[in-house]
């Protein structure tokens, strides 16, 4: 698999910084970077607890979601899932982590969408209206659909970025990134996996829309919905390929059930 490195990599030299995730619940996501001859590499871990160690599977979620975005022709940051040996607070861990490169082009600088919107909006212009004025509406409709399919809990105003190039006077939305807090995140036992309601519309953070990913589907225009790339039941093989031994089979089945049932729901309403 091009997006998975199974051979154990010795990354014990990396220095990890604690980043509290925005949902306010217990746990931390740790990040690191490395300067290499061909550019920086960025690394992040799944949810880490100083007592239990690395307890989450958010990095696997990133791979699943990016494969889904590939199928649906959505621009995104490219992650690689890496089997690695790391060192945290004097303790060694063998885990799977995410590696990525910088998505900025030469000359570009990035800014949180929330900050750019606050600087450039007109009067009481809403974020979606602002994006429509900027010509970014198709990307936002893609985002609404994606976040519904994966139940993304964390699309706050800094998980959307704007890339600016003062030389070329261009500005664009960054590729989609950071989808760890989605799917069955926080499910860590067989019982939690079995009991998870894949169609539940849980309260989420969504700077662009409201706190319901299902309600946000209503913003997608009928004419755009007709052009969406369809998912097929056979796509499960592509989305889950190579994850045996990394993610429990029952976990994989539940994730695909979630994606597929949510797609079927959207497909039933998109032309209505």
pLDDT at residue 271 in the model: 75
The stretch 237-252 carries a mean pLDDT of 97
Q: What angle do CA 32, 33, 37 make, to 5 degrees?
A: 165
Query: What is residue 39's predicted lDDT score, i.e. its pLDDT?
Result: 87
For 18, residues 6+ apart whose C-beta sits below 8 A from its C-beta are 28, 30
Indicate the CATH number of 109-269 among 1.10.3720.10, 1.10.420.10, 1.10.1070.20, 1.20.58.2240. Answer: 1.10.1070.20
Domain ranges for the chain: 4-100, 109-269
Tokens of 223: 């004419």
- What residues contact 205, with CB distance under 8 A and at least 6 apart? 22, 23, 153, 154, 155, 156, 211
Residue 21 has pLDDT above 60, yes or no: no
Mean pLDDT value across residues 245-265: 97
For the sheet with 91-100, list strands across it: 4-10, 79-88, 91-100, 39-44, 29-36, 17-19
Tokens of 175: 């590729």
Looking at the chain, the whole-number percentage of residues with pLDDT higher than 70 is 96
- Tell me, what's the pLDDT at 28? 60
pLDDT digits (tens, 9 = 90+) for 74-106: 999 999 999 999 999 899 999 999 999 999 999
- pLDDT beyond 50 at 233: yes
Q: Write out the H or E segment, with its range, that includes residue 222.
A: helix 222-225
Per-residue pLDDT for 63 more than 90?
A: yes
- Helices (DSSP H) in 135-206: which residue ranges? 137-150, 190-195
Considering the entire predicted model, what is its pTM? 0.94
204-209 mean pLDDT: 94
Average pLDDT over residues 10-35: 73
Q: What pLDDT band is residue 22 in, cutting at 50, 70 and 90?
A: very low
Q: What is the pLDDT of residue 19?
A: 58
Beta bridge partners of 35: 40
The CA distance from 256 to 214, in Å, is 18
Specify the residue for token string 């994730």.
Answer: 255
Interacting residues of 76 by C-beta distance below 8 A, sequence separation 6+: 66, 69, 70, 175, 176, 177
**CB count in 10 Å sphere of residue 44:** 21
CB-CB contact of 182 with 61 (8 Å): yes
């Amino acid at each position: 698999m091009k997006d998975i490195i199974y051979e154990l990599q010795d990354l014990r030299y990396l220095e990890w910084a604690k980043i509290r995730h925005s949902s306010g619940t217990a746990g931390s996501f740790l990040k690191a970077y490395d300067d290499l001859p061909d550019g920086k590499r960025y690394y992040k871990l799944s949810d880490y607890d100083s007592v239990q160690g690395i307890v989450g599977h958010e990095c696997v979620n990133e791979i699943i979601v990016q494969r889904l975005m590939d199928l649906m022709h959505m621009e995104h940051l490219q992650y690689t899932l890496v089997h690695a040996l790391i060192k945290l607070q004097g303790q060694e861990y063998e885990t799977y982590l995410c590696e990525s490169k910088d998505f900025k082009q030469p000359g570009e600088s990035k800014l949180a969408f929330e900050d750019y919107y606050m600087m450039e909006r007109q009067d009481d212009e809403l974020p979606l209206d602002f994006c429509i004025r900027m010509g970014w509406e198709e990307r936002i409709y893609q985002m609404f659909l994606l976040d519904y399919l994966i139940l993304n809990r964390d699309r706050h105003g800094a998980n959307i970025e704007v890339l600016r190039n003062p030389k070329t006077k261009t500005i664009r939305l960054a590729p989609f990134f950071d989808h760890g807090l989605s799917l069955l995140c926080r499910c860590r036992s067989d019982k939690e996996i079995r009991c998870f309601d894949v169609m539940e519309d849980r309260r989420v953070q969504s700077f662009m829309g409201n706190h319901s990913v299902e309600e946000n589907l209503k913003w997608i225009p009928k004419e755009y919905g007709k052009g969406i790339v369809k998912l097929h039941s056979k796509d499960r093989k592509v989305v889950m390929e190579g994850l045996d031994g990394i993610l429990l089979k029952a976990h994989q089945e539940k994730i695909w059930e979630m994606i597929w049932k949510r797609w079927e729901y959207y497909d039933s309403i998109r032309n209505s």
